[in-house]
Structure 1
Amino acid sequence: MLHLAVMPYRLHFRKPAPTSRGILTTRTIWFVHAWRSEAPEQVGWGESGPLPGLSRDGSEEFGLRAKQFCAQFNDAHFDSIDEAQQWVQQAIWDFPALAFGAEMALRDLHTGAQRRWWNTPFTRGEQALPTHGLIWMDDIDGILQQIETKIAAGFTVIKLKIGALPFDQELALLRTVRNAHPDVEIRLDANGAFSPAEALDRLDALAPLKIAFVEQPVQTGMWGVLADLCRCSPVPIALDEELIAIRSPEERDALLSIVRPQFLIIKPTLLGGFAASEDWIAEAEMRAIRWIINSLLESNLGLNAICQWTSALGGAQIHGLGTGGLFTNNPPSPLTLNGNCLQIDPSLPWQLPDLAETDA
């Protein structure tokens, strides 16, 4: 019989991390464990890490709800992993981070509990996976220094947050970067910072800088405004936070059909896991909408799984995957960063926390 359990783990940032939702110094995640009663020594691992203020299930009661979820799962007495995964999928709309962790743990158990969720050239250490260079919020000099460091390290795609500084300063900064690096791809995330009245003018101002896309230019819920922007903007529009509030396949299909964005930002932690994310991708491709996969401050466990899944999907686009270097107590893994590429080194072992001592 299959069992699930969750255990909290507190990640500590190497330095305070400024985000659009405040400065983070710690982050609590929950490791999800899956095992069979007849072989309890073989444990599949998953990770649930809702982000308060962003995730649909990011409330203070998440730990209690996760334990209740596991109790309900255990009471169902599943023997088939396929049946168990179908049950887990029922939670994707209300508890996406929890569904993500449970799906990951069950898949790990199914594939041998070796943290090889997919078998691809990347997971075997034969191919690398390029990623973007994420630029953290800072003052102008700090942002420019980060950009130069990333480009010197080999990154060909950089992503910046905009909206925290006066727009004329951000525009001047972007002109400086574009003039110095004409071939670097620049992606922007506005986090809803533009008002509906000013959004198109600001997108027009960004157009000469060859911006790849702007994520979430206005606040969520403004489908009509977004639809107009996606139709008229000279810069492609990507939806990110807009996806979080969707609670049914019908609502998802309506959003994509009405707004018609040029890109979707796919974050499995926010959308309910891999199967749910693949549903978003399938619906996007039916409408000729492109997509980029992004991680979301996962530990090395969740990051490895997302990278492996990304490699299994294939495609030539460069995604927004973390590098594992943000936390002082990130469980060591075989994932390494070489230049702008993530790669698995099979000679490096996993060093996962003790099952009884995960509240670090």
Structure 2
Amino acid sequence: MKATYQKHTLQFKRPSGTSRGILKTKQTWFIKISDKNNFGIGECGILRGLSVDDRPDYEEKLKWTCQNIYLGKEKLLTELIEFPSIQIGVEMAFASLAAANPYELFPSNFTQGKQGITINGLIWMGDFSFMKEQIEEKLQLGFSCVKLKIGAIDFEAELDLLKKIRAQFTADEVELRVDANGAFHPDDAFEKIKYLSELDLHSIEQPIKANQWKQMAQLCEKTPLPIALDEELIGVFNVTNRQELIQTIQPQYIILKPSLVGGFANTKHWIDLAEQQKVGWWITSALESNIGLSGIAQFTQTLQNNMPQGLGTGSLYTNNIPSPLEVKGEKLWYNPNLNWGKI
């Protein structure tokens, strides 16, 4: 058995705004395992400034992983605990190697093209007119759930935008999710959430920065708007700490990015903990290429969660890997009649 890796820099079609700045490119790495005549492929992708494994020794660890591929999946996953994005790449590559079709990691009605996954439309940060333009585009495409990144422009302007959307579309017609990416200050977060709650929103992601458990727990306890944890889950490797986090904060939802929390097994562990505490959840991609997005979507399908998932990121890039993934209306589909392109 041999393994190699290669870097791929994804180019955004248009710069995309987040509370951490404007994204123009996204670095990712593909790991390939070869065993006799078979191969397996996985993706290791980090988000700069957010992934816990955004470290100077990242490629060095990738090289070590390839050199030690003979250790097998379970041993490698243990050794890679501080590198969650390499963990999922390894998981994907071994699942791919074992599969009848190396691109169908979790065969299902989804990979057969018989069932799609409902997804939310993603609205990037920007000025009022740009965000309004995106929303109208998503609604015209048939999305009934849209997620807006907030916290970059003036809060009053964002509130005004949301009010105008609500004036046109009721909560029954369009489900609105907002993601603050930790942009609110604990001192005024509750007041802002209160204003937002008057607009019949579904939820708000990560209103304040992570690692403020006490303040976040207080918000979750008295919030008039369901709160979803996102960044809060990153870097929590210890099983006991995960349990303590869920029990202490008692959020209404958690949002899982498998590339940021350590792959499929770790994502499932978070879900089990959440369900024990009657906490809801959904899964989101972390701007992977179609290789990673497809693996995450296939995994998501096995979990049978009917909420809109955050998996609509495949069309963001000019140089993505051609794939059978297609977005039709508000659903992500896998078209088995389409071929994968070369990496």
Which TM class, normalised by the smaller chain length? over 0.9
SS of structure 2 residue aligned to 1:30? strand
SS of structure 2 residue aligned to 1:90? helix
1:161, distance to aligned residue in structure 2 (A): 1.1
1:20, distance to aligned residue in structure 2 (A): 2.2
Match of 2:68?
Answer: 72
Partners of 1:260 and 1:156 in 2: CA distance: 28
Q: What does 1:32-71 correspond to in 2, within 5 Å?
A: 32-36=31-35, 39=36, 41-71=37-67
SS of structure 2 residue aligned to 1:211? coil
Residues 8, 113 of structure 1: alpha-carbon distance in 2 compared, 3 angstrom cutoff: farther
Match of 2:192?
Answer: 202
Q: What does 1:201-220 correspond to in 2, within 5 Å?
A: 201-220=191-210
1:5, distance to aligned residue in structure 2 (A): 2.2
1:92, distance to aligned residue in structure 2 (A): 5.3
Partners of 2:101 and 2:8 in 1: CA distance: 20
Is the CA contact (8 Å cut-off) linking 2:285 and 2:313 kept in structure 1? no
Match of 1:287?
Answer: 277
Kindly indicate whether residue 13 of structure 2 is the aligned counterpart of residue 9 of structure 1.
Answer: no
Which of these residues, 102, 123, 130, is aligned with residue 118 of structure 2?
130
Residues 92, 283 of structure 1: alpha-carbon distance in 2 compared, 3 angstrom cutoff: farther
Q: What does 1:1-360 correspond to in 2, within 5 Å?
A: 2-36=1-35, 39=36, 41-74=37-70, 76=71, 84-91=72-79, 93-182=81-170, 183-353=173-343
Unaligned runs of 5+ residues in structure 1 are: 77-83, 354-360
Is the CA contact (8 Å cut-off) linking 1:88 and 1:103 kept in structure 2? no
For 1:170-220, what per-residue CA distance to the aligned partner results, in whole angstroms no more than 9, with x for missing partners? Answer: 111111111111121010111111111101111111111111111111111
Partners of 2:142 and 2:333 in 1: CA distance: 15
Partners of 2:61 and 2:128 in 1: CA distance: 42
**1:140 is aligned with what amino acid?**
F
Partners of 2:209 and 2:332 in 1: CA distance: 33
Is the CA contact (8 Å cut-off) linking 1:92 and 1:271 kept in structure 2? no
Partners of 2:279 and 2:159 in 1: CA distance: 27
- Name segments (4+ residues, structure 1) moved above 6 Å: none
How many residue pairs are counted as aligned between the two chains?
A: 341
1:339, distance to aligned residue in structure 2 (A): 1.4
Query: TM-score w.r.t. structure 1 length?
Result: 0.92
Query: TM-score w.r.t. structure 2 length?
Result: 0.96
Is the CA contact (8 Å cut-off) linking 1:52 and 1:59 kept in structure 2? no
1:29, distance to aligned residue in structure 2 (A): 0.7
For 1:320-359, what per-residue CA distance to the aligned partner results, in whole angstroms no more than 9, with x for missing partners? Answer: 1024111111110111111111111111111122xxxxxx
SS of structure 2 residue aligned to 1:306? helix
Partners of 2:18 and 2:79 in 1: CA distance: 28
Partners of 1:147 and 1:328 in 2: CA distance: 22
1:89, distance to aligned residue in structure 2 (A): 2.6
User: What RMSD in Å do the two structures reach over aligned CA positions?
Assistant: 1.2
SS of structure 1 residue aligned to 2:307? coil
Unaligned runs of 5+ residues in structure 2 are: none
